[in-house]
Amino acid sequence: MSGMSDRNFWQDKLREQRFISHAIVDGRPYLAISRKVCPAVNPATNNVLAGVTALQADDIDIAVKSSRASFASGVWSALAPQERKTVLLRLSALILEHREELALLESASMGKPVNDALNVDIPGAAHVLAWYAESVDKIYAEVAPTRNGSLATLTREAVGVVAAIVPWNFPPRSGLLETRAGAGRREQRDPQTLRKLAFFGTAPG
């Protein structure tokens, strides 16, 4: 019997898989200035899955400046909460829609059993995004009582660009836990840190 529980099913999928080797900066494919690559290796077979562009300090500076400019433009940071919620829910749905491909990439690049990735990691990542999306219009500011004639307010707002180092064991879910994207902040990730291809699955839309 063939299907997602069958080893041959996943091996066939892996042979057909298209890998992305570039980084993404300013929403576009980006190759390191040095043009050096870092091999992403399947730990089960020692086969090289892809040569992923190896970002260095100068590349990181370019990425951070790009994110800072995007943040300052307000294209995401100033987006209305309901619109951010819509975008995050769409991304959560895309993760579930492409869960087979993402699970395969995670399994091949880090050695996790593919069914664990399919049934735990990838749905968990989608759940994290959906939770952040739903929290956008449900987390309210609270202030202590003030004296008569005074007004106190509390506003939650994004402050800028952050970098994230993702743990090795649950990269999709752990990475998204750090995003706080619903708050409107910009984030930079270096996929070379752990060479996880799970974030490089291609998904239209």
Q: Could you give the angle at the alpha carbon of 94 between the alpha carbons of 90 and 98, nearest 5°?
A: 175
pLDDT of residue 189: 52
pLDDT of residue 159: 78
pTM above 0.85?
no
Q: CA–CA separation, 118 vs 37, rounded Å?
A: 28
What is the per-residue DSSP string for 99-153?
HHHHHHHHHHHH---HHHIIIIIHHHHHHHHHHHHHHTTT---------TT----
pLDDT of residue 144: 83
pLDDT of residue 202: 38
pLDDT of residue 197: 39
pLDDT of residue 180: 59
Go through the domains of the chain in sequence order and give each one's CATH number. Answer: 57-199 (3.40.605.10)
* Token representation of residue 14: 């892996």
Instruction: Summarize pLDDT for 86-103 with one digit per residue, the tens.
Output: 988 998 998 899 899 888
pLDDT of residue 3: 67
Given a cut of 50, the residues of the chain with pLDDT beneath it are 1, 185-186, 190-205
Q: CA–CA separation, 54 vs 52, rounded Å?
A: 6
Task: Give whole-number Cα distances, 142 to 2, 29, 78, 154, 168, in Å.
Answer: 55, 42, 22, 7, 36
Residue count of the chain: 205
Question: 59, 26 in Cβ contact below 8 A?
Answer: no
